[in-house]
């Protein structure tokens, strides 16, 4: 089997920062409540004229620059999103037009906050099977458009943004070592977008219980599948939903705090965009080194989960 890895990464964050204090002005909440329950201090909220595809295109262009590739090198576009511009066309088709690469296949993938991991795993299959060489995988969300700003239980949690990676064949021993994806539809009712209101509704406690069980479990499982142990892990990039959930996974893996990404503080929960946004931040911070063993792990609506163990 081929070694498939990330050869380029790029992001897009809207410029508008909304701090917890700003939310205190519009709803009955406090900076202290949000910080202590979630770890979130601020999030980015896109303006009305920016949609999911706009952020996806910017992130994709940045990833191409980072990989030193032309758009014409891409032969498959996958976009993980729960907040597409339209039911159809897909965001992926809009990205294809935005990048000016006619005829390459393009599709969206729906697995809520696990979407990015699902999409990377899907892209890898096409490279493994020699069908495509360079796959553009994007997680992009304008979650703010499905938030009920009158519902303090959900509105304080989410943010907007996009992250993109390019998957290609990499040198022997590097790239994705193992992956796991899973779903439990019996938990679908706990986290969904209501058809009538088009707003997110969530049973926070049930999702919390699921996440603190599933995140460490799937992380340990993928490490084992890679033939490694938790001690071999250099850095954990978990889905950024809640610092208490991240801390539980970190403790189960026995990792020090500086080996785990916690961009939730500044981004909030950006759903399918959170893992590539976090990964990019840690690369920028100099936390990820050549040859490091990294675990990406997500969970979300569905309920779904997914993890990837890779060597950078």
Cβ atoms within 10 A of the Cβ of 209, count? 13
Smallest gap, in angstroms, from Cβ of residue 106 to ligand ACO?
A: 23
- Residue closer to ligand ACO, measured from CB, 93 or 200: 200
| Active-site annotation holder among 93, 239, 242, 266 | 239
What the block records as the tokens of 60 is 């994709």
269 included as an active-site residue: yes
> Does an H or E element contain 229, and which?
none
Pick from 144, 129, 146, 137: nearest CA to 165: 137
Smallest gap, in angstroms, from Cβ of residue 30 to ligand ACO?
A: 6
Whose CB is nearest to ligand ACO? 300
- Residue closer to ligand ACO, measured from CB, 114 or 134: 114
113 included as an active-site residue: yes
Smallest gap, in angstroms, from Cβ of residue 104 to ligand ACO?
A: 28
3-state secondary structure 174-208: CEEEEEEEEECHHHHHHEEECCCCCCEEECHHHHH
SS3 244: helix
Q: What is the dihedral of CA 188, 296, 87, 11, to 10 degrees?
A: 150
* Binding positions for ligand ACO, rule: CB under 6 A: 29, 33-34, 37-38, 112-113, 152-153, 156, 191, 202, 204-205, 207-208, 211, 241-242, 269, 271, 300-301
Smallest gap, in angstroms, from Cβ of residue 78 to ligand ACO?
A: 18
- Residue closer to ligand ACO, measured from CB, 213 or 289: 213
150 included as an active-site residue: no
Smallest gap, in angstroms, from Cβ of residue 286 to ligand ACO?
A: 28
> Does an H or E element contain 52, and which?
helix 52-67
> Alpha-carbon distance 235 to 257, whole Å?
10
- Residue closer to ligand ACO, measured from CB, 36 or 131: 36
- Residue closer to ligand ACO, measured from CB, 20 or 62: 20
> Alpha-carbon distance 286 to 280, whole Å?
10
| Active-site annotation holder among 3, 93, 113, 309 | 113
From residue 105, give the alpha-carbon distance in Å to each of 15, 78, 80, 90, 265. 31, 9, 15, 11, 36
Q: Is the Cβ–Cβ distance between 191 and 303 less than 8 Å?
A: yes
- List the catalytic residues: 113, 239, 269
């Amino acid at each position: 089997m081929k070694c498939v890895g990330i050869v380029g990464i790029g992001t897009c964050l809207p410029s508008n920062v909304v701090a917890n204090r700003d939310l205190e002005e519009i709803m009955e909440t406090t900076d202290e409540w949000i910080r202590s329950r979630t770890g979130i201090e601020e999030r980015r909220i896109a303006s009305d004229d920016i949609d999911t595809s706009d952020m996806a295109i910017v992130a994709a262009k940045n990833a191409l620059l980072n990989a030193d590739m032309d758009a014409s090198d891409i032969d498959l576009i996958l976009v993980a999103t729960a907040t597409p511009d339209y039911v159809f066309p897909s965001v992926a088709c809009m990205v294809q037009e935005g990048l000016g690469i006619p005829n390459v296949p393009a599709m969206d993938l729906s697995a809520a906050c696990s979407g990015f991991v699902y999409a990377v795993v899907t892209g890898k299959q096409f490279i493994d099977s020699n069908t495509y060489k360079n796959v553009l995988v994007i997680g992009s969300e304008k979650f703010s458009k499905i938030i009920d700003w009158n519902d303090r239980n959900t509105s304080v949690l989410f943010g907007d943004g996009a992250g993109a990676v390019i998957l290609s064949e990499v040198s022997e021993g590097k790239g994705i070592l193992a992956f796991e994806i899973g779903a439990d539809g019996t938990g679908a009712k706990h986290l969904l977008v209501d058809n009538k209101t088009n707003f997110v509704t969530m049973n926070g406690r049930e999702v919390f219980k699921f996440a603190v069980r599933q995140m460490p479990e799937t992380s340990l499982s993928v490490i084992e599948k890679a033939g490694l142990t938790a001690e071999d892990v250099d850095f954990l990039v978990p889905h950024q939903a809640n610092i208490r959930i991240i801390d539980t996974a970190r403790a189960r893996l026995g990792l020090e705090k500086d080996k785990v990404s916690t961009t939730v503080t500044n981004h909030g929960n950006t759903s399918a965009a959170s893992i590539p946004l976090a990964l990019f931040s840690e690369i920028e911070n100099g936390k990820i080194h050549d040859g490091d063993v990294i675990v990406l792990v997500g969970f979300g609506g569905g309920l779904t989960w997914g993890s990837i163990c890779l060597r950078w």
